[in-house]
Amino acid sequence: MTVSKLLEGLRVKKTQGPMDTAIKGIAYDSRLVEDGFLFVAVRGFSVDGHDYIKDAVSRGAVAVVAEDAVEITKAGQIPVQDRTAFIQVSESREALALISAAFYKHPSRRLSLTGITGTNGKTTTSFIVKSIINAGGDNAGLLGTINYMIGERTENARNTTPESLDLQRYLNEMVYNGIKYAVLEVSSHALSLKRIKGCSFKVAAFTNFSQDHLDFHGTMEEYFRAKRRLFDYLGPEGVVVLNRDDPMIRPLAHELNCNVITCGIEKGATLRAENIAEQSAQRTGRGPAVPSGLSFDVRTSKNRFRVESGFIGLFNVYNILVSIGIAHALGYSEDVIQRGVRDAGAVEGRFESIDEGQDFLCIVDYAHTEDALKKLIQTARRLTKGKVITVFGCGGDRDRTKRPLMGAVASGLSDTVVVTSDNPRSEGPADIIKDIVQGIKKKNYMLRTEREDAIMEAVSIAGEGDTVLVAGKGHEDYQEMGGARHHFSDKEVLRKAIREKRKSDGFKGR
C-alpha cells in the first residue's frame, strides 16, 4: 500500500517527498523500523518519538509522520534522502490509528467487534461474553487486561487496550485465522489517546462508573466523557448495552441515537435480574462454607429464563447481565446464553480463592478503586462468620485522591486492615501509605511497607472462620518500583504464608 493511500482520510497539514512509495510496515518505535517502513513520531509521557526521527530514517524508514514540521526539516539533523516522504499532521496518535487501520485493511469491519468499557467489571464481562460466543459454536478473540487471546495463541497483556498499531495487527491476525468475533476491553486512557480510532464496533457496553484515573483525566466529568467516547465508534446498526442501575450511565439510554439495551436489578431495564439466589455452598479446607455461585431469572420484554453461574457477589450479577445484553445484540439464543454463562470459568485474580487446606478463607482480587474495594469487602463480610482482614495499598504515580477514600472504606468495612504498598513506581511506599491513612478513622489498622510482610502478617493473625482479602493486584505477577518491574505474586506469597502458618500450628491438613 502506498503512502498516499494510507493518508486517505487523514488531516494532513503538509507533505514533502514521494507519496507513491509502497509501505512494507509501520512502527512507532524507531528500534522496530525496517527498510521500507513508515515511522510515526508519537509524543509519549516520558519519550517523544520526534527525537528519534533521525534514527528511524537511518534504519530504513521511507516515510515519516510527525506533528512538528521544524523537527523534520531542520538542516543537518535528519539525513533526508530522495526516497523519504515527510507528512505533517495535527495529531500523531490519531494518524497512527487511522494509518494502522488502513494498512491492515480495516479488520474491525470484517469482525463482529464488541467493546466493553467501565471503571470495573470489564475483564469478567469480556470472559463471560467469550464463553457465550464459544457456547454458540463460534470462536472469539479477546484483548484485555489479563491477556490477548488470538485463536490458539495467547500472550500476556501489556495494556488493557493495545496501542492502535498493535490493536489493528491483532484484529487482522484474528481475521486471518478465521475468527469472526472479537471482544475488546476499552480503557479510558485508550479512548483519550485515540487507540481505537479506525475501529467499528457492532456492540459497545458500559459496565459501571466510579472514581479512578483522575491523575490522567483531572475531573470525574472528563473521565466520564472519555468513557462515553466509545459510542462514537459504533458501526451502522450497532447496539449499546448499558448498566441502567448506575446513575451516571442511566441518562445515556435516552441521549444516544442508536439501539440501546439496558440491564439492571431495578425496574425499567430491558434485561432485569430477579429472584437472585446463591447456589449450594462448598467448604474451603476447614474454613467457612462459600457459595459455589449464583443464579437468577432474566426477565426480558417477551419472557424470562434462568441462568446459573460460578461467579459470586451482587457485582457479578451486573457483569453477567451486561454479558447477556451483549449476547442478545450479537443474536445468540437464550439456550446458548445459559450454556455460556454456566460454562464461564473463574477469572484469574477476580475473587480468586487460595486453598492450602487452611481453616480460613483467602481471596485475591484486582479491586483497586474505592467502589471495587467496597463491593469486595461487602461480599466477603456476607460470607464470613469470623473477622474480615483486608490487605491493600495504592499505586504510585496514579490518582492520589482515591487513596484516603480507599483507606476509609477498608477500615470502615473490615475488622482489621493491613495497609501496604501496591505498585509504588517512582513514589516512596511510605508516602503513599501516609495518604491512605489520612482517610482512616478507626484504630483497626497496621502498616507494613513491604507487601510480602503485609500478607504474611494478615495470614498469621487469621483464625478459623476468618477471611483474608488481598486486594489491588489480582492476576499481576510483578511490582513496579523505581522504574523497574520485580517478580511478585500475591497468590504465591499467600500460599507460602498459609503453609508456614500450618507448619507452625502443627496442622497436618486434609
269 and 159 belong to one structural domain: yes
Q: Are residues 299 and 369 in the same domain?
A: no
Structural domain ending residue among the three candidates 70, 87, 102: 102
Range of the domain at 440: 352-505
Same domain, 322 and 410: no
Q: Residue 46 has what pLDDT?
A: 84
pTM for this predicted structure: 0.93
What mean pLDDT, rounded, does the chain reach? 93
Instruction: Residue 41: give its domain's CATH number.
Output: 3.40.1390.10
- Domain's final residue, options 86, 102, 118: 102
Does 489 share its domain with 415? Answer: yes
pLDDT digits (tens, 9 = 90+) for 30-86: 999 999 999 999 998 889 999 999 999 999 999 999 998 645 554 445 555 567 899
> Around Cβ 313, how many Cβ atoms within 10 Å?
20
The CATH number of the domain holding residue 492 is 3.90.190.20
Is residue 156 a contact partner of residue 91, using CB atoms and an 8 Å limit? no
**Inter-residue contact 86 to 66 (CB < 8 Å):** yes
* Helix 370-383 / helix 402-413 crossing angle, nearest 10 deg: 10
pLDDT at residue 180 greater than cutoff 70: yes
Which has the closest alpha carbon to 272: 245, 308, 292, 310?
A: 245
Q: Please report, for the domain that includes residue 156, its CATH number.
A: 3.40.1190.10
Same domain? 496 vs 420: yes
Single-letter code of the amino acid located at 230: L
- What distance in Å separates the CA atoms of residue 241 and residue 261, rounded to the nearest whole number? 5
Q: What is the pLDDT of residues 190-242, one digit of tens each?
A: 999 999 999 999 999 999 999 998 888 899 999 999 999 999 999 999 999 99
- Domain assignment present for 423: yes
Pair (133, 62) in one structural domain:
no
Burial of 477 by CB count in 10 Å (0-12 exposed, 13-18 middle, 19+ buried)?
middle
187 plus 334 within the same structural domain:
yes
How far apart are the C-alpha atoms of 167 and 151, rounded to whole Å?
15
What does the DSSP assignment read for 47-76?
Answer: -BGGGGHHHHHHTT-SEEEES-HHHHH-TT
Among 76, 102, 128, the domain-final residue is: 102
Does residue 510 lie within any of the structural domains?
Answer: no
Return the minimum-mean-pLDDT range out of 151-160, 187-196, 362-371: 151-160
Which carries the bigger pLDDT value, residue 69 or residue 432? Answer: 432
Element spanning 96, H or E: helix 92-103
* Per-residue pLDDT at 290 exceeds 70: no
On whether the CB atoms of residues 354 and 495 are closer than 8 A, the answer is yes
The answer on pLDDT for 282 being more than 90 is no
Annotate 198-242 with DSSP letters as a single string.
T--EEEEEE----S--HHHHSSHHHHHHHHHGGGGGEEEEEEEEE
- Residue 222, domain member (yes or no): yes
- 111 touches 182 (CB < 8 A): yes
Q: How far is CA 106 from CA 6, 7, 202, 327, in A?
A: 11, 14, 14, 23
pLDDT beyond 50 at 351:
yes
Residues 324, 182 share a domain: yes
Residue in the block written with cell 504515580:
397
**Are 24 and 96 within one domain?**
yes
**Angle, to 10 degrees, between the axis of helix 490-505 and the axis of helix 451-461?**
40
Measured distance CA(397)–CA(431) in Å, rounded: 11
| Domain shared by 168 and 314, yes or no | yes
Domain total of the chain: 3
pLDDT level of residue 314 (50, 70, 90 thresholds): very high
Amino acid identity at 407: G
Beta-bridge partners for 274: 297
Establish if 233 belongs to a structural domain: yes
Query: What is the total residue count of the chain?
Result: 510
Looking at residue 216, its pLDDT comes to 87
Q: Specify the amino acid at residue 126.
A: S
CA-to-CA dists, residue 32 to 88, 101, 502, angstroms: 21, 19, 51
Residue 478: inside a domain: yes
The answer to whether residues 339 and 260 belong to one domain is yes
The C-alpha cell 462514537 sits at 232
Secondary structure (DSSP) of 383-402: H-SS-EEEEE---TTS-TTH
Confidence label for 510 from pLDDT (cuts 50, 70 and 90): very low
Asked whether residue 391 falls in the same domain as residue 417, the answer is yes
